[in-house]
Amino acid sequence: MERPAACWEGQDRYGNEILPSLTIILKTSGCRHDRCRMCSYRHERYPGGEELVIDQLRWVQEHHDLPKAVMVKVYTSGSFFDPCEVPAGAARYAAELFTGKLVVAETRPEYVETGLLEEFISRIDTGVFKTPLTVAIGLETVTDIIREKSIDKGFSWDDFLHATKKARTAGAGVKAYLLQKPLFLTETEANDDMERSIRALEGIADAVSMNPCTVQKNTELEYYWQRGAYRPPYLWSVLSVLLSSPYPVTCDPVGGGRSRGPHNCGECDRGIVEAIRSYSLTADKSLLSEVFEKECACREEWEFVLDHERSWSLPLTR
């Protein structure tokens, strides 16, 4: 039996509840877009097609307490609803395995097809949840020029909106992932972009999760980072964006406190990362303001960066 790339049990917030969840990252043939500047998942490619995916789902069934999980979050290193990655038989197997659960499945917008989602929902739906399936899309930002130039994501805000309409027609919910501080932005530009994105998604996405950018291996982002041309966001920035949000945004600062992840000075990082994780689960903003108001010498450095960092004048054309 093949192990998935990763699989773990945890907890997730859904509406006002905290639910036991299972997160599964499946090995597949890989992402067909294969271009984003900060992404190392795109190098993950495995032959084996439908059988490979089903085999990993069997492994999950044997090695994890599936009945305990109310929510299942399923990712590939690409798109769950790309039929090349997860062929129809494997998607059917997954849906039957996850019957009666809240399923969150990540996909690029071009693979959101109403018919496909309707079929998936008809298999998982037992009438317990109003919206048993949520489609999660890595929108990254609402600003097309940043998504294009800083990320090379290959789709537009309009494409995203079109996909959300199709998902809603099928009866699915929509979750958006945002990327805090992609390449080529100053700290202030990045924060402004996240604040703008969070506001623009109100009423469009049911849930928003913000990922502070990390420097993954073998990426274009790493190339710039190694040459001193990129710094991941300060944890102060993560706090300030979350604090300014008009609604609860979840955030898991992966690599928090490390040089490749969102970080401050090294002294104050741990407490802030813990506060952000607790806030994600409880939506209690006082957890954020408590650490945001604490004194640390690096706060002045962050404020200086916000005021003085200037963007490079990158040409828009060749």
Q: Which does 264 bind (CB under 5 to 8 A by kind): Zn ion, ligand SF4, none?
A: Zn ion
Answer whether 57's CB lies under 8 Å from 48's CB. no
Member of 2, 18, 19, 41 binding ligand SF4 (CB under 6 A): 41
Q: Nearest approach, Cβ of 256 to Zn ion (angstroms)?
A: 13
Residue 66 interface partner, choices Zn ion, ligand SF4, none, CB cut-off 5-8 Å depending on type: none
Residues 6+ apart with CB under 8 A from 309: 186, 187, 188
Sign of CA dihedral 198, 21, 44, 58: negative
Q: What are the backbone angles phi and psi of residue 261, rounded to the nearest 5°?
A: -115, 180
Q: Does 265 bind Zn ion (CB under 5 A)?
A: yes
- HEC profile of 135-169: EEEEEECCCHHHHHHHHCCCCCHHHHHHHHHHHHH
Binding mask of the shown chain, residues 208 to 247, with x at each position contacting ligand SF4 by CB under 6 A: ----------------------------------------
Q: Count CA atoms closer than 13 A to 219's CA, side-chain side.
A: 25
Q: Among Zn ion, ligand SF4, none, what binds residue 90 when CB lies within 5 to 8 Å by partner kind? A: none
Determine the Cα–Cα distance for residues 241 and 213; give it in Å rounded to an integer.
14
Q: Candidates 39-47, 51-59, 125-133, 256-264 — which segment interacts with ligand SF4 by CB under 6 A?
A: 39-47
Question: 109: which 2 tokens?
Answer: 């917008």
Residues 92 to 151 in contact with ligand SF4, rule: CB under 6 A: 108, 138
Residue 298 binds which one of Zn ion, ligand SF4, none, with CB within 5 to 8 A depending on kind?
Answer: Zn ion
Residue 33 found at the interface with ligand SF4 (CB under 6 A) = yes
Residue type, 85: E
- Asked if 176 and 137 count as a contact pair (C-beta separation under 8 A), the reply is yes
Binding residue for Zn ion (CB under 5 A) from 116, 296, 305, 306? 296
What is the phi/psi pair of residue 316, to 5°? -80, -25
Which CB, 216 or 264, lies closer to ligand SF4?
216
- Report what 108 binds from Zn ion, ligand SF4, none; CB cut-off 5-8 Å by kind: ligand SF4
> Contacting Zn ion (CB under 5 A), which of 298, 301, 306, 309?
298
Which residues, 6 or more positions from 247, have their beta carbon under 8 angstroms from its beta carbon? 198, 202, 208
Neighbouring C-alpha atoms within 13 Å toward the C-beta of 77? 18
Please tell me whether residue 35 binds ligand SF4 under the rule CB under 6 A: yes
Give 258's contacts (C-beta < 8 A, 6+ positions apart).
none
Among 9, 34, 202, 303, binds ligand SF4 (CB under 6 A): 34
Q: Which stretch binds ligand SF4 (CB under 6 A): 26-34, 45-53, 66-74, 298-306?
A: 26-34
Q: How far is the CB of 38 from ligand SF4 (least distance, A)?
A: 7
The residues of the shown chain that bind ligand SF4, judged by CB under 6 A, are: 31, 33-36, 39, 41-42, 77-78, 108, 138
